[in-house]
Structure 1
Amino acid sequence: MIVSAGRNETFPFANSIGVGLIESTINLTKICLFNRPEFILFVGSAGSYGKYKIFDIIESKSSTNLELSFLQNFAYTPLDNAVKIDTNLTKSEIVVNSSNYISIDKTISKEFLNYNIDLENMEFFSVLSVAKEFEIPAFGIFVVTNYTDENAHKDFVKNHKAAMEKLFKYLEDKNIIKAKEAK
């Protein structure tokens, strides 16, 4: 089953699960309870902490939920804030961070790289957490739309359409979707 966030990122071949950590968790859990998929592929956009460039396509099976306050030593959590799905669906070891907030401070954002975290997507931690709970193989495919800096939203909006076209092409080239499904 292919899933995406929704709102700006809806696809004819994907089930929309909602934006952010909470909506995506609730809606994907409902799907898994009532129509359990054999696998989950999350597709969508991501912001780069600096290592990857705009329009790069990245696969991942690992996510974290680290907030900027953690990086600044203003917070801690007793919760497990990292999840990895052991799957042969992708070999990628790239880690995607998830939060309900978009990072816009380049200096602080670059600190994620010190933790070997390269990208930011609001839903991916939820997707992998639900998949792990239900023991469903899962991974994500992301297209970079912006850097996590003061221009994050403006660049996301500017690059979104072209990024989605590149994502469609990647999914077609990998035979994940057929050309007619992308329309």
Structure 2
Amino acid sequence: MIVCAGRNETFSFAEPMGVGLIESAINLTRRCLFDKPDFLLFIGSAGSYGEHNIFDIVESKRASNLEISFLRDDSYTPLDNVLESENKLVKNDTIVNSSNYISTNFELAKNYNNYGIGIENMEFFSIVQVAREFEIPVAGIFVITNYTNKNAHEDFMKNHKEAMSKLTKYLIDKNIIKYDA
């Protein structure tokens, strides 16, 4: 089953789950309770902490939920904050960080790279968490739309349409989906 965020990031071949950690967790849990899929593939956009370029495609099976305050040693959590799927199809070591907030302080955010975290997407951590709970293999495929800096939102908006097209083409080229007219 292919899932995506929703709102302005939808695809005809993917089921929208909602934007952010909470909406996506609630909606995916509901979906899994009533019709548990055998496999989950999350697709969507992501911001780069500096090691990936605009329009790069990144595959991952690892997600984190590290708030930016963690980088400043201003917080801690007793929860598991890095999760990995047992999925053997994806071998990329890039960790996708998720938060309900978009990072805009590039000098601080690029420190995520020190932890192996290369990109951020608002939903992926909750998708992996729910998949783990229901014992469903999961992976994510992301297209970079912006860097995590002051221009993050403007660049996201400017690059979004082309990025979604490139992501769709990548999925077709990888035979994950058939041509989407």
Give yes or no for TM over 0.5. Answer: yes
CA contact (8 A) 2:93 2:116 kept: no
Q: For structure 2, which runs of at least 5 residues remain unmatched after alignment?
A: none
1:71 equivalent in alignment to 2:77: no
CA contact (8 A) 1:89 1:138 kept: no
- Give the SS at the match of 1:73: coil
> Which residue pairs with 2:132 in the alignment?
132
Look up the equivalent residue of 1:41 and give its one-letter code. Answer: L
* Aligned-partner Cα distance in 2 for 1:109–1:12: 33
Report how far residue 89 of structure 1 moved: 2.1
Q: For structure 1, which runs of at least 5 residues remain unmatched after alignment?
A: none
Report how far residue 127 of structure 1 moved: 0.4
Residues 6-17 of structure 1 correspond to what in structure 2 (within 5 A)? Answer: 6-17=6-17
The normalised TM-score by structure 1 is 0.98
CA contact (8 A) 1:105 1:148 kept: yes
Look up the equivalent residue of 2:153 and give its one-letter code. Answer: H
Residues 15-164 of structure 1 correspond to what in structure 2 (within 5 A)? Answer: 15-164=15-164
- Give the SS at the match of 2:117: coil
Look up the equivalent residue of 1:15 and give its one-letter code. Answer: E
* Aligned-partner Cα distance in 1 for 2:8–2:60: 21
CA shift digits 1:136-175 (9 cap, x unpaired)? 0100000000000000000000000000010010000011
* Aligned-partner Cα distance in 1 for 2:147–2:53: 8
Look up the equivalent residue of 1:139 and give its one-letter code. Answer: A
* Aligned-partner Cα distance in 2 for 1:150–1:158: 14
Quote the RMSD (CA, aligned, Å). Answer: 0.6
- Give the SS at the match of 1:66: coil
Query: Paired residues, what number?
Result: 181
Look up the equivalent residue of 1:166 and give its one-letter code. Answer: K
CA contact (8 A) 1:85 1:132 kept: yes
- Give the SS at the match of 1:96: strand
The sequence identity of aligned pairs, in percent, is 63
Look up the equivalent residue of 1:133 and give its one-letter code. Answer: E
The normalised TM-score by structure 2 is 0.99
Report how far residue 75 of structure 1 moved: 0.8
